[in-house]
Structure 1
Amino acid sequence: MGFRSAFITTILLSGVLCWRAWSSPCALIQIPTADVIDKNQCYLDTAITPNSGDGDFLSDCVFESCFGVKDGLECGFDFVTNSVGEGAFFFKQHIRKHSKWTAAFGVNGIGVQDISLNPYIVFSSNTKPFRTHLGMDYIEDECRIMLGAERVVSDRFTLLADWISGSDGAWSAGFNYTFGRDDAFGLMAGVIKSRSDGDSYLYINIGRSFQF
């Protein structure tokens, strides 16, 4: 399947099946990392927070497609299931890659109906079994600090935690688990604790990677 065909198919599937938490494998629960997916790889996922919104199971659900366009560059499309049904494009580009750390710049919120740009920069360490992430984003006239950490427990299981500053900031903790042939499937789950309303939300993300 060519890149164009895969991209169109992904958008159509998103529309049939039905914002924002992040996609594995290049992010933690809330924040992006400096990782990007490999060239000619596609990752499709569904993220839900079942105990948020108005009680509808799909009231706060995100379908995401992400493509490795070339080395160090990924782009994709998000579709969120709310009362309006919003969609937006995003991209992330490596700006520096070192043996011990990587830096990336990205932009989210390039909307189909409404453009609400969310640029960010993030630095990630390339050390194991413990990785750290530090970044800053700009959203709704506010600059926020992003912090994150990963602890690799095994080849398939990783513990995650992250934190975002700001009036609508939150912290989260959970895990990522890969399974299936060639670890093509991923499950990320955890709890998000909001500072704005003090509530806690369950987060579940299931995805699959493909070559194109």
Structure 2
Amino acid sequence: MSQNLDFVNQNITKACEKAGRGAEDVTLIAVSKTKPVSMLKEAYKHGCRAFGENKVQELVEKYEEMPKDIQWHMIGHLQRNKVKYVVGKAALIHSVDTLKLAEEISREAVKKQTEVSILIEVNIAGEESKYGVAMAETEKLVREAALLPGIHIKGLMTIAPYVEEPEENRQYFALLRQLSVDIKQKNIDNVNMNVLSMGMTGDYMVAIEEGATYVRVGTGIFGERQYPAQRE
């Protein structure tokens, strides 16, 4: 795994150089869903301090077992009834795509007397199978969520289509970046568009060239996902 991590970090540096950016501008999130704590500890030893989880239960369990200087990222779809478990543990919630979810996070933040950083998830390619607010509705959601106490909007996130050729997703990464620039220019209170969470194992280099500040890499670090054996 250390070789995988070195390879990914080298690629991040290369992509940043190509785009005229510093490698320190991009944070690698090790997507550790379905992976055992032993593998996370190995990645931690090799310098990983940002881990991404899709499921609330996994994030909570691993949060308890891993060192406390880790930044946990909730990157999967978040149900409103699970918000209470994540607030106070996740450094950043990437997947806020409705006002109702933002309101629930706000309620929980106020109750726990804490502040929660969130990203607005945009379904940039308009795929029916994916979560995320439509591009045309993004600014409206940003404006409404920004008024809620206890939460701070830090930027945008997207899950680009699964493609064989990374270049095919360049258009979507460019669109998300432009959307973030457009929203930033509106100077909305409590809205900061410094974070662009986009790019995964197959296309993170293209995403970085188009402005990603967080890339979410799982398979490229840990290998294929491991799911529990299904009972027949």
TM-score, normalised to structure 2, is 0.33
Return the structure number with greater strand share: 1
Structure number with the bigger relative contact order (C-alpha 8 A, sep ≥ 6) is: 2
Return the structure number with greater helix share: 2
Query: Who wins on radius of gyration, i.e. which is larger?
Result: 2
